[in-house]
Amino acid sequence: MWKWFHQLASPPHFYRLASLFIPWLAWPGYALVAYGTFAGLFVAPPDYQQSDAFRIIYVHVPSAYLSMMAYMIMAIAGGIGLIWRMKLAHAVAASAAPLGASFTFLALASGSVWGRPMWGTWWEWGDPRLMSELLMLFLYIGYMALRSAIDDTGKADKASAVLALVGAVNVPVIHYSVEWWSSLHQGPTLIREGGPAMDPAMLYPLLANIVGFSLVFGAMLLRRVRSEVLRREARTRWVRELVLAPGENG
């Protein structure tokens, strides 16, 4: 079992595995997203409170979920890279950042657009979920800014790993403090706390989208990690052989 883990940590093996896995994640992922989106838009019945506007949930919830998942991946990968000195882990962390930021942006945009018909404003400072997502976006931006400010890749890896870990520890604190802050001013929240007591016809497309988006995210992540690995290992023999091998175009 450790042998497999060690093999995984070797860049050429990971590169090969990643190339193999990408379609196995992307195709099912997009299929699920297609079903979830179609069913969410056309099959699920309108919400009795929010009518058809609630359908934004099929995009908002997966995005928000992924924005947090990506951050956890970024922080854990950074931690693994820091503790076990695995360059590959750092490559994963670096790749996760722009993806996580994209989904955070999407969560914010969808939340804002959802809020417009529901509350009448484009932005509600009092909504704890929106505020948490906003702070998470700032965390991502800071992470990427730190990475680009440090020229040496190794140093950038370690510094940003420290930052990501510190941020990860703070994320629950941020969530709690924003919740407390907004509870002082009782404002409306986007998603009713009814949660999974949803009508199955509403719930299944949502679950499909959550899983589908996650698979798609996985595929995108692997694709980026491949690029990262190639870039970092550019001067090694295995990359040289890879590039010189006939018929190889990535």
Partner 1 sequence: MNNGAPRVPGLLAGLVATLRRDLLLAWKRPGDVLNPLFFFAMVCTLFPLATGPSIEQLRFAAPGVLWVAALLAMLLSLNSLFLTDHEDGSLEQLLVSPQPLVVLALGKTLAHWVTSGLPLVVLSPLVAVTFRLPGDTIQVLMLTLLLGTMSLSLLGSIGAALTVGLHRGTALLSLLILPLAMPVLIFGARTVALAAAGDAYAAGILALGAYALGALSLAPYATAAALRVSNE
Partner 2 sequence: MTQTLAMSGYGIYVWSTFALTAAVLVYNEWAARRRFRSVYRDIEVRIKALENHK
Query: Residues interacting with partner 1, by CB under 8 A?
Result: 82, 135, 138-139, 141-142, 145-146, 149-150, 154-155, 158-159, 162-163, 165-167, 169-170, 173-174, 176-178, 180-181, 184
From the CB of 125, what's the least distance to partner 1, in Å?
12
From the CB of 229, what's the least distance to partner 2, in Å?
9
Q: Which residues bind partner 2 (CB under 8 A)?
A: 37, 41-42, 46, 51-53, 55-56, 59-60, 63, 98-99, 102-103, 105-106, 109-110, 113-114, 116-117, 216, 220, 223-224, 226-227, 230-231, 234, 239-240, 243-244, 249-250
102 makes contact, choosing from partner 2, partner 1, none, with CB < 5 to 8 Å by partner type, with: partner 2
Nearer to partner 1, 1 or 173 (CB): 173
From the CB of 83, what's the least distance to partner 2, in Å?
27
From the CB of 202, what's the least distance to partner 2, in Å?
14
Nearer to partner 2, 55 or 147 (CB): 55
Q: Are 113 and 176 in contact (CB under 8 A)?
A: no
145 makes contact, choosing from partner 2, partner 1, none, with CB < 5 to 8 Å by partner type, with: partner 1
From the CB of 103, what's the least distance to partner 2, in Å?
8
